[in-house]
Structure 1
């Protein structure tokens, strides 16, 4: 199922002009506050009627301004999850969920028990929203959206109001949602680690325009895109397979770049995961370092070097078919006399990869 979007809309002091295709999986609309992300998702939902545009979900035309077609929100069969759960406070969790199911077409209804199991809601069914944590409320809101039998989910910064602990609690459930329902998701966020964990495709917005679109692994490892994503958050994704749980509490991963050792990952052997490695946590060496505490030393080749007016440089490294970004000082670049094509060793401390930076791969 593919979403095709082409929109133009003007607000006082701001104009939106975008066009993109969202394939199956999670398409993340990423950008700074005020870049137009929520405007796009509201137009897709039918909550905003743009000045001009065309939106098509598979073969269903949701909007075509040239033909004066505007499908009202209730006929678009889209599930919308907002920043806040927006649950009915006087109803229990079970009643909130079944309320949505009542309005779903009988032939499209999802199994209630399956959704409850998918999102881990079984122990919450008799509670009212007042007695739920922020993460629990969002899981119920997602369940309610699923039970409305949507053709697609729209999620507008669903984790923005949660603290770090609650985000860590809900991210695995969002991974399950992505991987087990196979429902396309348009996901708004300004959190790069969140996008790296969940997205399959990224649409990068700035000032109402699209800077780039593409697979998440490709965009995150592109040094030319890093300034728009945020230099301090620059990083890359490696896909790896869990090879073994070591007796000293480490997990060994097999990746195209070579073996990696990380703090224990609670996944079964053979599971495939995506690992986000921050560019600032990658050190470079001309020769293989000896007698150092860092466990991960990967042979790499420089594929691109980018500098700007700051004191740092971004180095794109080819590692067994994957790409890794390293952020070093311009002084180090000069001292090491680095050039494209040079063969080096990338050094990554095991403890520098946070638990929230490891997630399941997408579909």
Structure 2
């Protein structure tokens, strides 16, 4: 199943003009606040009518400004997950889930309640009311309600924005499971780079109402020209495999023929994971350093340098078939005589990579 979006819409002082495809899996609309992400979500849901454009879900036209065709919101079979769960406080979890099923079209394939409950790990919550749930638990119930409405599109508008770091870490694995086990496109809004790296199969990077780039998450996130939320949050995503847990609390991962030591991850050896590494945490050296506390030293090749308006430089680094980004000063780049093709060493402290920056890789 695929969602196709092409739309133009103007507000005072802002014009949105985008076109992209969202296949099955999680397509993240990634960019700063005000880039147009929520406007796109509302247009797909039918809550906003674009001035011009065409929106098609699995071959069915939801909106076409040329023909005037518009499917009403309640007939679009959209599951909407908001920032706040918006559960009915007087209903139990089971009754809130049933509310989603009540809105599912009679002709639509029915999701099995037991499967959704198991998928989201909410079986022990069914008799509770929302007031007795944590923020993460409420969001899991809201996800279940959306799934039980038999949607052909799921829309998630910054669903983790209202949660603290602990609750975000609790719920991210459930979005990874949705990505891998639900067979409908999920359009997900975020401006958190590590979150995007963990869950996205496709990234649509937005800047000032335009698509800066779209494609597989690893390709878009490691592009030094694509910094939709600013260079301070730039980084790259690595595919890796857990190989060994150590008694001192570290884990060895293998990526692109190299080994990384990171704080212990929860996944067992053999698991394929994604690792988000921030560019500001990667140092560069022209010779292999010795006598330092950093545990990870990778031999890499400079692929591209991206100079900004300030004193910083984003350096794209290649090793094997993987890419890293390093954020350094122009002065450092000059001192190291960095240029495309130069071989250098990337240095990364193990403790620089937070545990919530490591997640399950999508199913192949």
The alignment's TM-score, normalised by the length of structure 1, stands at 0.96
Q: Give the aligned partner of residue 244 of structure 1.
A: 244
**What is the distance in 1 between the residues matched to 2:316 and 2:343?**
12
Native 8 Å contact 1:257 1:299 kept in 2: no
Q: Give the aligned partner of residue 111 of structure 2.
A: 110
**What is the distance in 2 between the residues matched to 1:334 and 1:206?**
30
Equivalences for residues 75-224 of structure 1 within 5 A? 75-105=75-105, 108-224=109-225
**What is the distance in 1 between the residues matched to 2:217 and 2:257?**
18
The alignment's TM-score, normalised by the length of structure 2, stands at 0.96
Q: Please, which moves more after superposition, 201-210 or 294-303?
A: 201-210
Quickly say closer, same or farther: Cα 1:165–1:276, change in 2 above 3 A. Answer: same
**What is the distance in 1 between the residues matched to 2:328 and 2:16?**
36
**What is the distance in 2 between the residues matched to 1:32 and 1:344?**
32
Q: 3-state DSSP class of the match of 1:297?
A: strand
Structure 2: gaps spanning 5 or more residues:
none
Structure 1: gaps spanning 5 or more residues:
none
Native 8 Å contact 2:63 2:70 kept in 1: yes
Q: Give the aligned partner of residue 336 of structure 2.
A: 336
Native 8 Å contact 2:103 2:149 kept in 1: yes
Q: CA deviation at 1:10?
A: 2.2
**What is the distance in 1 between the residues matched to 2:12 and 2:349?**
49
Equivalences for residues 274-313 of structure 1 within 5 A? 274-313=274-313
Native 8 Å contact 2:104 2:150 kept in 1: yes
Q: CA deviation at 1:195?
A: 1.1
Structure 2 residue 226 is matched with structure 1 residue 231: no
Instruction: Give the total of aligned pairs.
Output: 362
Q: 3-state DSSP class of the match of 1:117?
A: helix
Q: CA deviation at 1:74?
A: 1.6
Q: CA deviation at 1:15?
A: 2.3
Q: Give the aligned partner of residue 316 of structure 2.
A: 316
Deviations 1:212-248 (A, max 9, x none): 212211111111113x331111100110011111222
Q: Give the aligned partner of residue 357 of structure 1.
A: 357
**What is the distance in 1 between the residues matched to 2:360 and 2:19?**
29
Q: CA deviation at 1:257?
A: 4.7
Q: 3-state DSSP class of the match of 1:67?
A: coil
**Structure 1 moving runs of 4+ over 4 Å:** none
Q: CA deviation at 1:280?
A: 0.8
**What is the distance in 2 between the residues matched to 1:16 and 1:203?**
14
Q: 3-state DSSP class of the match of 2:66?
A: helix
Q: Give the aligned partner of residue 70 of structure 2.
A: 70
Equivalences for residues 1-80 of structure 1 within 5 A? 1-80=1-80
Q: 3-state DSSP class of the match of 2:341?
A: coil
Native 8 Å contact 2:27 2:204 kept in 1: yes
Q: CA deviation at 1:207?
A: 2.4
Q: CA deviation at 1:182?
A: 3.4
Q: Give the aligned partner of residue 347 of structure 1.
A: 347
**What is the distance in 1 between the residues matched to 2:170 and 2:85?**
16
